[in-house]
Structures are given as C-alpha cells and as structure tokens.
Structure 1
C-alpha cells in the first residue's frame, strides 16, 4: 500500500458525496471509489435513445435535506427544482379521474366529486400527517441512539423520545397508527372513497414489495411526505437536467474541497488488520490504506460480499443474511413522439406535469402484489409515470418527450427458477399494455425504451434485489435497528468501518441525511467533543 487517506468511501452515490463533503470540509483527506464510469450512484442522467436523456433510477425530488442543499451551496452551482403544479393524477377504471394537490381548497373540491365527507375531513388528515412528519424531519438529521452504548445511548434515546412524548395524546396516537398499521387500515379510518384512499395509499407501496394491507405499510406512506421543495413542505419536483445534475454538482463541490473521486474503481474487499479497518482492495488488486472505510452501498452488499466472514461475529453475519431487501421495483424510460392522450383527460394539461398514477384503488394494489408473488410480476402492475420533458426541454428533441415509468410489484426473484434477463421484455410489454389501456396510442408513440428489472437494477447500481431503499422499511429495520440493533449509529461491527447509505437511518430516497449523519459520527469519533455538530 502506497497512498494513504483519512477516509475511503465506497460508492459515489449522493450520500457518499454528501459524506465526503462534510469530512473534507472538516479537514480530512477523502477518496471516493466508484464502481461505474460515472459519479452519482442511482441518481444519474443518461442518454438512453438518440437525443433522449432522462434520470435512470431515482427520478424525482422532495426528500433532499434543506441543510445539505444550503451547506453544499448547490443552488449557487446550478441546482434548480421545478415544483409540480399538482402532485398526482389518477385515472379511474370508470372513466373518471382524480387530481391531488395544488392547494388544500383545490384538492377538497376534487375530493367533493367523490365524497363530501372526504373533502371535509381532509384538513384534519393533513394536520395529523404533518404533525408526525415534523417528528421525522426533526429526527432525520440526528443519529439514532445506539443500543449497547450504555448511559450515552439511554440519554440519546430520552432526548429523541422527548419529541414524541411532548406531543398531545391525539398526535401520539397518530404516531402509533402510522408506524404500525397497514395503509388500508389507516386510510379506512379517515376516508370513504376508494379513489381518495388510492391517491394517498400509492405512497405506501412505493419501493415497498408489499400490499397496502401489510401491517407497517402506513409508515412507508409517511416516509414519502416528510420532504419539501423550495421551502414548500410535502411538495415534489423535477431537478432540471435530471437527477444526475444534482450529483454532478455535488461531485464538483467535493472536488473543490480536495476530495479525490476515482471512477471505474470497484472495491473487492474491506481490509481488516487486528480487528481494525486497514483500507480496501480493488478488484484490480490495488490496495489503498486508510483508518476509516465508509460504505455507501447497501448492508447486503457490504457484509455479503465486501467484508470477509471471518471478520464478522456469527450472530452479526446471521442477522445480515436475514436482512430484508427487495423493493419489487421495475424501472423504465421511454422516448415518445408525442404526449399520451388519456381517455379520461385527453388534451395536454397540468396532469402531464404531475405524477400520473395507474393504481385506481387499494384493491388494485393488493391484487398487483398477490399476482406478483404467484407469477413473478403483476399482470396489472402499479405504474407511476412522469413526463419531465414537459418542463425541461434539455431532455428530448423539440415536440417529443421522455417519460419515466416507475413500476411496482415485480418479484426480486422470479418463481420457478426463471431469470429476469429472459423475462424483462415481457414484463415491460405488460407495463406498456397497462398504460395503453388508459391512454390508447401510447404504444405507437414509443420510439425507444430503457428497461431495468430488479436484476437489472442490481447489476447496474448494486441495489441488491433491485431494492431502491437498500433494505425494507419495516419496523424491525428502522431507526436504531437500521440495519441492525447495536449498529444504528452508522458504525459497523469493525473499528473504523462506517455506513452512510440508505440502509441506515432514515432510509431510502435522495435525502443526503445518512451521508450527513455518518460524517458527524466520523468527525465525533476523531474529536474529544463527542457532541460536535457539522
């Protein structure tokens, strides 16, 4: 080993870049080692058809932490997000449609077409959801209390728990509901219209290979609403230039602080000497020394392939083997000659600039999951379509468009020993058929397509099981137990090994929170001021 660094980061995704920024700003010598030939991890923009570019995996913005945006001065380097005029547009099976968002009064007017009761109770629902979302926002940039840390862990738990304990009893009940109930049980307690329940229930199956009837799915719904865009809480938007523009800017900021970013540098193994991290070995055989290695890859990949079994305790190895990953996600991009014309609302409009959700009821979502468990993918899958070229003309030729198709209920592993490489085109055709049923002529408008099955997502981005969250967001894999109890504070089971990816608190999405929090712990471990904040 010849070169030496203070910290090596495995993976150049957004959390790795955020972590590198804070470490370099504190004076550490940092090097990022990225397997692919482009920085950004799953937040990248690529040309997938001549003249057509789009975000490849992650595709929309809300959860990126305002503190990270401000600290990295992203806006000064060209970061720009355009908010959706309405949140979502849901075609219904009876030829009707529902629009969600655009302000409370407007959403109430939409709901009133389906249920006066649902329109009237909507403000109370929003207040309940926002009350719990505020707790999540408060905890997102705090390291969870770590089990096994003695008094320090108890103090941290008390301090963070005080936020919940101080809530009115009604809000505490909301917390319990959202962390334990199924999305259907939660929504049945508020609303009566199936269309309205679907509008909110969709968030419960995003990146979640489960039914809306699955206990705990209500939390996944909550996880998707604690973000903000341009200061507006709960809003979603499009990053001009695609998601790759965000990570391109982050890399530029990091390099400006002296961070070294090595592309096409896949890590083979974390090197351990005397129970402490010694560095890493690349697949090329090159070894690089550092007293700290920070993994921006999922726990399944890190402990299943990059850390020798002999360096892990049998109990830890067993628990990591049982760590649940696999989000049931199938990702497509399509190049279009024209905008889709939906039977229920055919002319161009604001609905083309929103999230277009093909999942009209919770029953539809439940059947999609059960179908996928039996057949490998749903014959009527859940589809979210975004058409970012309606507001970003850098993505497609004039008069033409790109669409992101984010699809749910595709088994991470196909039953019967089938291989996704042999089946992905059939699954993609099923997705196109599903859109075609709502927008006749959609298939004929497709000029080219990019397909990523769960296996394709794993191969391209290292997302084990195609899991966009790096691990299921279930109660046993959250907060102090993410990825496993005793290692919830971003520290691995080997001295000098840290984790900064979505497999740690607060979970998936382009948040930057794990990278921020991990950097805090690395810096704190190197100082006597353990409460130092970055």
Structure 2
C-alpha cells in the first residue's frame, strides 16, 4: 500500500465503489477503506438461516434509481429483471376478500381489478391520469441526475405548473385526497412517500413528497427491478469493476479520523496490522454525514432517525390467499398489507405518540418468484420462496427502551397483519433452519445501525433532498460538496443520494474530474 493516494474513499458501500471505479478509470490512484470484512454495505446477499442454502438480500433488496448509463460506463455484469406485477393489495370489503392488482405493464386486468374493488372506472381513470402526469415529471428529472444541479426554475419550466404545485409546493396528501376517493387506492399511491421516511401525508416539511418523487424517477420510469443473484450481485459487479480499474480495496479497516485542510487530506484507520494513516488530495465520504462529522471531531450534525422494520422469511411454499387469487401472481410484485390511506395516517399518529401501531402497515416482496437463483436447486425444486417484509412507521424511538422486546412485539403484529389475508396459518408455510427454528429474521433501526453502521438505522443517511438546486449558489454544483473543498459526500447523504442508485458515487467522482 502506498503512503499517498489521489483519492481515499471512506466506506466501501455501492456508492463508494462506483466513485472508485470512475476515478481509477480516469487514472487517479484510489483507495477504498471498508470497516466490514466485505464491501457492499447494506447492498449484500447473505445466508441468514443456519444450514439453509438461501442467499437473501438482507437489507436493501430492489434496484430503482441506478441509471443504465452507470451500468454501461463501468461495464457492470448485471441482470436486473422486471417484475411481472407492479403491486397487489388484498382488501376486505363488505364481508368478502378481493385483491387490487396493478399489472406491469398495465393491461385490461388492472382496469377490471379497479372496477371490482370500487364498482366503476372512475378511480382507474384517476390513477392513469395521475401517474401519466407523474411520469412527465420523472422524465424531466431523471436525465439531470447525472449532471450538475439544475435550478428548480429550470425543472419547473419543463412540467405542468399544476403538477409542480401538487408534488413540490404542497403536502402530497392534498393531491391524493383531491384526485382519489377510495381509501385503498389512496393508500397504494401514498405508500411510496413513507418507505424509509417517517412523516404524515400532510407534513409541512414535504419530506413525504421528496420520498415519493425518488421512488418514481429511476431511469425516467420509476420501475423497481430485481437483481439476479440478489443485491450481493450488484456489489460483486461493482467491486470487480473497481479492481479492474486499478482501485485498491481494503476491508476490515475501521476509519477513526478524517482530516482535511482544503488542499490535502489524511485518513487514519485500525486494521489487522494496527493503526495506519494515509495522505491524499481528496477524501470522499461514503458514510452518513453524522458519522463523518464524528470522524472529523465536529459536532452540529444531528443523528438521523430511521423508520422501518425489516423482516426476512424463508417459506416452504407460498401461502394461499383468502381472496382466492393465485399467490404466485399476488406476491410477484409489491404486496401491500394494511396500507389503506386511513391506516397509514393512523399508524403514523400512533407511532408519533410513542406507541407501536396495533395494525402496522407493511409491504412484502418475493425475490425468488422473479429470480430463483438465490435458492439452491434443491430448495427451488421443493417449492421454497423468500419473502421480505418492510414495515413502515416504525421510528427508532419505539425501540429505544427495550429493542429486543419491541422487536418481538412489532414482528408479531406485522406477521399477524399478513396472516389476516391468508387462507392458511403463516407458521405452517415458514421453513425451519438446521436448529429447528423458524426462518424469520427481523431488523429494527437499532439493529441496522449496529450491523451496517447507518446512524439511527436511517436507510437514506438522513432526510432526502430535492434532486435540484434549492438555492442560487447550488446551481451548477454536484450536490456532493462540504465545507472543505477537498472533502466530498459520495454516499446516500449526497443531495441526490438514497436507495441503491450509484448517483452519489458518480456525482462525487464528477466533482473531482470536472474541477
């Protein structure tokens, strides 16, 4: 290892690897320091259950915002597959169980499903009108994500002014309530605004609007795709690309301090051979801003608060549904549980008051229906499947006094919500590991902080920001800059960070390469 590098990157998550590859391809000597024994951060695949040959995407699990251009630029060997179904929502109405199915691409079955649920075509027409308008905003924003920040006025000039007011100027709940009347349809629209974000639909901060936008602008379509081989395949492809480009990747390296003076930098870490330091021209931070502040010995950066409960399951077979719908179709997309609009708002108010929601909203994803390769051939032949459950409105504060007890109670309530729509007991479907235990793993924000170092368990490293310049001085910058000219944010804490996107890594690299 050299004593000096052009660039040192703190954190070997996917964004750090993206930045490293671009920089090393450009001839800059680049060092990546990762605290864990492997690169990838939260974008990893792991065998979660003892004695079971299933590699689950343990933390992050779907890919939306990763631009095709980054995949092509870095020569990534990736297979990102579309899901046949966008979403399915089981509903209990008038003593009967039905399901709201949204196809991908939408066809006659989607219209029929809306009509069965609501009794007319009105809500479906409102749905297509709304998402058609949202698509125009996504098409305007997506091409700018890999460019210097454009002004809000520039973006606004390319879209319908009324739509801009709905999604950017006013709380999202107003638009949803004005455009839709059915509680379930309203909820399906609203869920994209609260994934990983603790907010009500009428929050004046508009963080729910920002979260909604990020869920719908990836590659201009907002489609969430399944990485074949699990999220670890994304990390593996990025790490391979970084090494091919000549970047040095060091794992088991716990960074303890970062020093910068605007022209030079120094990074110190603890590794297997003790404490080491290296000097550099640039430091890129792929850790959360709160963590970076600590490494610099600075205060003033508030620790963020994550808000989710992540549950991984391995099933012996997909459960039958009370609606009678084919589970292989219902679980092929996003399976909404208790996410009516009124249920989302009620759960938010309960959590904000400091209590676990009695009927917690959540979403379920079945990776193995789209990509069975994460399971051994024997498990596939036997009909096994994975389920990932993402519970919303579970802020870290609810687990502060007794994480273990609160985790157990929250898990029971979320799984009970799923079971309420099943025609058979959920436990009868769940596989057991080599020790005879049910294959269930739950992670609270505190567990995520401990496992992968995200402060507060916040999956976005903090509140998402608008993906354009919100002040005149930011226009033309990359959204990665800090108070020190040679210290950049390259992770989810960058202005256009969040999710498995590579945007922070790309834009930090471009900040250097275009300087």
Aligned to 2:351: 372
Matched, 1:281 2:252: no
Mapped contact 1:10–1:293 kept (Cα < 8 A): yes
Question: Measured at CA, do residues 276 and 426 of structure 1 come closer, stay the same or move farther in structure 2, by a change above 3 Å?
Answer: farther
Alignment partners' CA distance in 2, 1:138 and 1:377: 40
Matches of 1:21 and 1:378, distance apart in 2: 44
TM-score (norm 1): 0.86
Check the 8 A contact 2:139/2:221 in 1, yes or no: no
Name the residue aligned to 1:152.
none
Alignment counterpart, residue 334 of structure 1, candidates 290, 305, 313: 313
C-alpha distance in 2 between matches for 1:138 and 1:493: 27
Q: Alpha-carbon deviation of 1:6?
A: 0.7
Could you tell me which residue of structure 1 aligns to residue 164 of structure 2? 175
Residues in 2 aligned to 1:124 and 1:100: alpha-carbon distance in whole angstroms = 15
Task: Check whether the contact 2:3–2:278 (CA below 8 A) recurs between aligned residues.
Answer: yes
CA displacement at 1:242 relative to structure 2: 0.5
Q: 1:239 aligns with which of 210, 223, 227?
A: 227
Where in structure 1 are there 5+ consecutive unaligned residues? 145-155, 310-316, 526-534
The residue that corresponds to 1:214 in the other structure is 203
**RMSD (Å) for aligned C-alpha atoms:** 2.3
Q: 1:132 aligns with which of 119, 128, 137?
A: 137
Contact map agreement 1:381 1:434 (CA 8 A) in 2: yes
Counterparts of 1:25 and 1:444 in 2: how far apart (Å)? 52
Cα displacement string for residues 237-256 of structure 1 (whole angstroms, at most 9, x for unaligned residues): 21111011011011001100
1:346: Cα distance to partner? 5.1
Counting matched residue pairs gives 487
2:176 to 178, 181, 187: 187
For 2:292 and 2:470, locate their aligned partners in 1 and report how far apart those are by CA, in whole Å. Answer: 17
Aligned pair in 2 of structure 1 residues 335, 349: CA closer, same or farther (>3 Å)?
closer
Residue 58 of structure 1 aligns with which residue?
60
Which residue is equivalent to 1:494?
484
Q: 1:189 to 1:270 in 2, by over 3 A?
A: same
In structure 2, the partner of 1:470 is 461
- Paired position in structure 2 for 1:223: 214
Could you tell me which residue of structure 2 aligns to residue 8 of structure 1?
Answer: 8
Deviation at 1:43, TM superposition (A): 0.7
1:42-65 Cα shifts (integer Å, max 9, x gaps): 111000012222101111122111
Structure 1 stretch displaced more, 5-14 or 189-198? 189-198
Measure how far apart 1:109 and its partner are.
Answer: 3.0
Q: What SS class does the counterpart of residue 364 from structure 2 fall into?
A: strand
Q: Matches of 1:120 and 1:520 in 2, distance apart? A: 42
Q: TM-score, normalised by structure 2?
A: 0.89
Write the mapping of 1:49-448 to structure 2, written as runs, cut at 5 A.
49=49, 50-74=52-76, 77=77, 79-94=78-93, 95-106=97-108, 107-113=110-116, 114=118, 115-144=120-149, 157=151, 161-167=153-159, 171-215=160-204, 216=206, 217-228=208-219, 233-272=221-260, 274=261, 276-283=263-270, 284-303=274-293, 305-309=294-298, 317-318=299-300, 320-321=301-302, 325-345=304-324, 347-396=326-375, 397-398=379-380, 399-414=383-398, 418-439=401-422, 440-446=424-430, 447=432, 448=439
Q: Structure 2: how far apart are the matches of 1:462 and 1:289?
A: 24
- Indicate if the aligned counterparts of 1:68 and 1:512 stay in contact, CA closer than 8 A: yes
Equivalents in 1 of 2:426, 2:390: separation in Å? 16
Give the alignment partner of residue 445 of structure 2, picking from 435, 448, 454: 454
Distance change in 2, residues 1:278/1:119 (3 Å): closer
Could you tell me which residue of structure 2 aligns to residue 531 of structure 1?
none
Q: Return 87-96 or 4-13, whichever deviates more.
A: 87-96
Contact 2:361-2:393 at 8 Å conserved across structures: yes
Q: Which moved more, 1:332-341 or 1:117-126?
A: 117-126
CA contact (8 A) 2:99 2:113 kept: no
